[in-house]
Structure 1
């Protein structure tokens, strides 16, 4: 190995080491929360079983649920949407309220019994352990700049995974030598080297997609379709649902059901920026979006939204709609970085103790030599 290669390897080792040491306290909660959120629906059902009762009776008219939800509204709140379960779950009503001083509207959720429309629970958008995990993973629960902080941590993890793969590569012998468990004399080092190798490339993918999600403006130019008006940062982000739309929710649902020919799964209210109902109807094929004009109840089928690069990146990152094998890889990709951060710190402390021991021994030998 040439001297320049040795110097480069030492430099990358220092970068890899200090990324793990300095960012361990942030990497561990990010990784573990990401692993948990792979099973978001299952976790929510375990934490909130009251929201997931079996539905055996026919659903009531949409107005029955909105009337029940209206009784729980606080001053200034408006119903934004209502979602209906598919076999298991509650009717979920989304509530919106204008934020003081502008900004995104405040959101809350109300869960209703699908058989009786009786309220089950009400919670804010960021309340509950699952929402806390989302907030922790998406922004470290830091308001304002949290998502950017997570994005730069993703850059560091991408660099760490790639440098770790290079540092794993055996200096002598074949590549298969690197797959041996006993490359190092202690358990932590062997676990770090072997676990780091197997997770390096998946972790690089998860880190890169996480960076994309954290900095969408920097990557929008690569998207197949422009960002929708109602998306983050779009002109529809500040829209509020109408408090008194012209069409009732039952009228909008009836018109959409005729046009879409299926079962309604979601109804979104018209807003002060777009006076049309958006109804999702599920038939034999893929769900169909139906736009119902609030002025005259005329309908128009919405073409399916194209799969943008941004959406694909998010699905790769969180596993939504992906094969079970990839979801398992994401789960392990959340557990292992936390373990690697701990084992890396233990390896560093072990090296420091060994160096201190050698220094003390050398100092003692030197003092003995001077005394003699």
Structure 2
């Protein structure tokens, strides 16, 4: 195939990916841009959760007692997270009783926000509702039951091809590549905008599309169907409703093994019957076996690749610069989709006019 023929082929791939997926790319891109700042959104939408009365903290036990007052019988405590910054609340996460578990999607969770200074409950919410949860569902599955996650994954694969084909089409056919960076490559503003924004966002969008496809198809990238499992027995781990060890005893064992301020406590589960105690600004944690209360030092294990890919995709702990890139990686594809449709519609118009003139001459 000649260079001109190859360019025409890439153009057709790029055009039809953009046209067919435009209506799906818009909600995925815009929700992805919004979710980069999900913590800030939660602060704005639910200020009552962060209306703390002071920066002092109590022992963990009063927070658990306060949470149990608002939880339903049978709900199992999953974790307790102490504030890592002034003004932040204590957060208790719980797994609802088996009769109230979600069937699809992420594990059902109930979150309790507690004032660190007084142990007063600030808010209680289930992760199955709310605007932020809806944004996550749109971004992860387009609200399509069953196959929505796979559809989003294939959109990610298509976007990979769109990035590659877009770069090929952006590359100037004459002269050095820097000629492609000039603004006025075309007489229409929307076309110039499409070329220039497409170039600058191509590489970040390629990374976001790759990580998105990775998240959607973990069994493909992670080494088979077992990659979907979250524990050695398969399925989702469920916190034990009635652990054998009391929280007081667990904390005594953990502090005997390691000194420092506690940052987070994870309750034992049916798959791993052991408590996990993390300490402030310390990679070393303590594991306390629920069966006998024996404590062991546990250094942080290497982060799984799947977790790294998810952090790259959503910007968690990736720094402000990359979060801004992800934000733009959500906004700019929406602009590219709109300008691409305008370019296609205009091309249809002048092609129709050309055919009409050719018929008139004939």
Q: What TM-score, normalized by structure 1, do the two folds share?
A: 0.87
Q: Which residue of 1 aligns with 2:204?
A: 202
Query: Deviation of residue 168 (structure 1)?
Result: 0.7
Q: Deviations over 1:89-119 (max 9, x none)?
A: 2111111132669777532211122222222
Q: Relative to structure 2, which stretch is displaced further, 195-204 or 143-152?
A: 143-152
- Give 5+ residue unaligned stretches, structure 1: none
Q: Which residue of 2 aligns with 1:7?
A: 5
Query: Deviation of residue 195 (structure 1)?
Result: 0.7
Q: 1:147 aligns with which of 126, 149, 161?
A: 149
Are 2:53 and 2:118, in contact at CA under 8 Å, matched by a contact in 1? no
Runs of 4+ in 1 over 4 A off after TM superposition: 99-105
Q: 2:295 aligns with which of 299, 320, 324?
A: 299
Equivalent-residue separation in structure 2 for 1:263 and 1:247 (angstroms):
21
- Give 5+ residue unaligned stretches, structure 2: none
Q: Deviations over 1:117-175 (max 9, x none)?
A: 22221111132222222222222222332221111100000100110000011112222
Larger radius of gyration: 1
- Residue 327 (structure 2) pairs with residue 331 (structure 1): yes
Q: Deviations over 1:48-95 (max 9, x none)?
A: 222224563532232212222112223432222211112232111111
Are 2:51 and 2:122, in contact at CA under 8 Å, matched by a contact in 1? no
Q: Which residue of 1 aligns with 2:68?
A: 70
Q: Deviations over 1:244-270 (max 9, x none)?
A: 222222322232233231111211222
Q: Which residue of 2 aligns with 1:318?
A: 314
Q: Which residue of 1 aligns with 2:165?
A: 163
The 5-angstrom pairing of residues 89-238 of structure 1 reads 89-97=88-96, 98=98, 106-221=108-223, 232=230, 235=233, 237-238=235-236
Are 1:162 and 1:201, in contact at CA under 8 Å, matched by a contact in 2? no
Q: Which residue of 1 aligns with 2:44?
A: 46
Are 2:285 and 2:300, in contact at CA under 8 Å, matched by a contact in 1? yes
Equivalent-residue separation in structure 2 for 1:345 and 1:358 (angstroms):
20
Are 2:55 and 2:87, in contact at CA under 8 Å, matched by a contact in 1? no
- 3-state SS of 1:74 partner: coil
- 3-state SS of 1:239 partner: coil
Query: Deviation of residue 306 (structure 1)?
Result: 0.5
- Residue 334 (structure 2) pairs with residue 347 (structure 1): no
- 3-state SS of 2:123 partner: strand
RMSD, matched Cα: 2.5
How many positions carry a matched residue from both structures? 357
Q: Which residue of 2 aligns with 1:248?
A: 246
- 3-state SS of 1:126 partner: coil
Equivalent-residue separation in structure 2 for 1:88 and 1:238 (angstroms):
33
